[in-house]
Amino acid sequence: MTLFTRIARQLNWRRRQWSTARDQAFHDAMFAGQTHDPFSPSYPGWLTIQRFADLAGRHVRPDDLVIDLGCGPGEVTCELARRHPAAQFLGIDHSHEALTRARQLAGRLGLTNVRFDSGDLEGYEPPAGTGLVTMFDAFHHLLDPAAFVRRAGRTCARFFLIEPAGNWLGQWQKTVDLDWLAESLFVIRDRLEYQFGLAASVHGPAAPAPPAGEPTEHRYLLDDFARWFDGYRVEVRGTVAGLERYGQSANASSPLRDDIGRSLYHLVVDLEDALVRADLDLAAKHWAIYAERGRAVPPRRVPDLPARAIEPPLPGPYDCEYVGYEGPHDAAAGSTIDASVDVANRSWRTWDSQAEASPVLASYHWLDAAGRTVVEDGWRTPLPRPIAPGERATIALRVQCPPGPGRHTLVVDLVHEGVTWFSGAGVPGLRVPVRLR
């Protein structure tokens, strides 16, 4: 990496003003009140938990003390402890909400070989006798990774990391992103449930509040890891696990969802093996990195593939096109404004505000000038009539403006009440700039 590249990346990160405190606030909010079952194949994140445990488990030895740093709610930690009863596991995190959840999960599974403690990774040193340090999507939250490796390397000779692939600017490099594959299977699952009336049981809130704070998000090149782990034998394998989008009702479960989840897992395993055979796996958006003190070997090269955006080939139940907006772009703070929005139903499902259980309604959010959400739940407006697939309608909105003046963004959104916001299902709302005076 050139000096110019390092300077550009550091400047890009510095303007974000990341900190441990903001990272902790973000994760406390994200993990608070979780009630889903992470060990059910119905849960979309089950794929990630299983694959990360698959890849890490190859390096867990009998009688190891495994320290999982940045363990979060301990889902992968518990899965590893369940698979390797002869090893001992210790999860460390600075989020109190995450640790509460982790202890609940370990107790529910009856695990006696895992425990969880609070700790700040910026100063943490593994205890003597540590056999393996693992970090799952946690290394990039460190503010000083070089110092961490030096410090942790004094008491541990082996590390296993799963990290997002990075580019020279320190951003996530998603050259091979197969989330569309999971999304397509989720759409098939949802259509089957709808067509055959197969109701899924929902556990916990469908749409949690957006987290406060901001996570630290450094992304790195393979050369960075080779430099920090100088004097280690470093092995890298790509994985396409680690979904960003979970689809609607991610907390729901049913026998059909279990079957779809298992099918997706086996498909991903086969695809990853095929990418390894073709020497294309390092183009995947996550890297599994194993470092063991010993003779250093040159790192593998990431294949030079063009990034090709792939859209889900199947329409989902919330595919929506916002065709136009008519209304004010200037209003008094705290006032009520009237507007109208044309929407087209590009989905496979009819949207109906008269449905007794879960009506589809029009609503909105408000963002301030910095892009922070200041109003999450806007007033609801019924649709003028049921909107069938392929149809278009004009919705009259009554909108309550935030009380503070300044430049804001009105985000028009539809909501399947009690299920999901359309934006939460991956369909961005219509953004309208509005100046409040």
- For the chain, the domains span 3-293, 320-436
- Say which CATH topology domain 320-436 has: Immunoglobulin-like (2.60.40)
Q: Which CATH architecture has domain 3-293?
A: 3-Layer(aba) Sandwich (3.40)
Report the pLDDT value the prediction gives residue 207, as an integer from 0 to 100. 47
* Cα 426–chain centre separation: 13
Average pLDDT, the chain: 89
Condensed to tens digits (0 to 9), the pLDDT of residues 35-56 reads 889 999 999 999 999 999 999 9
If you search the block for the tokens 């991956």, which residue do you land on? 426
Report the pLDDT value the prediction gives residue 34, as an integer from 0 to 100. 82
Report residues of the chain scoring pLDDT below 70: 1-19, 203-214, 248, 307, 309-313
Task: Give dist(CA 152, CA 158) in Å, integer.
Answer: 10
pTM: 0.81
Condensed to tens digits (0 to 9), the pLDDT of residues 90-143 reads 999 999 999 999 999 999 999 999 999 999 998 999 999 999 999 999 999 898
The answer to whether 60 touches 133, Cβ cutoff 8 Å, is: no
